[in-house]
Chain A
Amino acid sequence: GENVEQHPSTLSVQEGDSAVIKCTYSDSASNYFPWYKQELGKRPQLIIDIRSNVGEKKDQRIAVTLNKTAKHFSLHITETQPEDSAVYFCAASGGSNYKLTFGKGTLLTVNP
C-alpha cells in the first residue's frame, strides 16, 4: 500500500517568515495530493490540493509543489501569521479521496 512520509514533525518560525513542509510518497500510481490543517482540538480541514498533472498550485499565501519523478510534494506558506499555527497533514491517493493515506503531521508554531 501507499506510504507517506512527512517532515519535519515540528516547525517553529517567526511571524512573517516562510514555512515549508515536505512529504514523500511510495506509490507511483498516486495522483491526488491534498493538504489538511488541524487547529488544536478541532477537525482537519482541506486547505489546498494538487493533482499529478500539475506541478504547482497557489492560493494566496499557500502554495503546493509536486515532483512526480522524485515522488515528493511540499507545502509552502509565506508571510506566516500566528493563526497559521496548527498541525498540517499531507496525504496521497490513487484517486481523490479514495483510500487517502495521510502523513504523520507537522506541528507548525508561528511566534509573534
Chain B
Amino acid sequence: NAGVTQTPKFQVLKTGQSMTLQCAQDMNHEYMSWYRQDPGMGLRLIHYSVGAGITDQGEVPNGYNVSRSTTEDFPLRLLSAAPSQTSVYFCASSWDTGWGQPLHFGNGTRLTVT
C-alpha cells in the first residue's frame, strides 16, 4: 500500500489564484481530514469527512472547500489564495472514527502564497 499520497509536494501561488491540493489513500479508510501546520500553532483542522459524500468543517475552514466523491480521494480547494494561507498542509486518514484508530498522515504539501 502507498498509504496517504499528497500532491504536489511544493507549490507557489500568487494572491488570488486558485488551486487544488490532492489527497488519495489506498487503505479503504472511511475518515479523511485536512490539517494545516504553522510555526508555533500546531496542527489545525480545516475540513474532514467521515465517508463518501459527507464532509464537515473543522476549526479553520474559511477560504477552503472540500468534496468526497469517492472513498479514496479528498481534494482541498483554495478558491482565491491569500498570503495567510501560506502553510504546510497535511492530509490524514483512519479506518473510521472509532477509538484507537491512528491517523495516517501524508507527507504534506508546502504552499507559499506571494
Interface residues of A (CB under 8 A from B): 1, 6, 9, 32, 34, 36, 42-46, 49, 51, 89, 91, 95-105
Contact = CB atoms under 8 A, between A and B. Distances in A.
B98 A96 contact: yes
A91 B44 CA distance: 11
Given A89-B42, A97-B31, A104-B41, A43 B90 contact: yes
A32 B45 contact: no
B24 to A, nearest CB: 15
B105 A44 contact: yes
Interface of B: 31, 33, 35, 40-45, 48, 50, 58-59, 90, 94, 97-103, 105-108
B100 A96 contact: yes
Nearest to B38: A104
Contacts of A6: 42
Given A51-B99, A96-B100, A98-B50, 10 more contacts: A6-B42, A43-B90, A43-B106, A44-B105, A45-B102, A46-B102, A49-B100, A51-B100, A104-B40, A105-B40
A52 to B, nearest CB: 10
Given A1-B59, A104-B40, A98 B105 contact: no
Contacts of B94: 96-97
A44 B97 contact: no
Contact of B97 (A36, A42, A45, A96): A96
- Kindly list the 7 A-B residue pairs having the minimum CB-CB distance in the complex, ordered from nearest: A46-B102, A43-B105, A104-B42, A102-B43, A96-B99, A102-B42, A98-B97
A44 B41 CA distance: 14
Given A104-B40, A105-B42, A97 B97 contact: yes
Contacts of B90: 43-44
B45 A99 contact: yes
Contacts of A105: 40, 42
Most buried by B among A34, A43, A102: A43
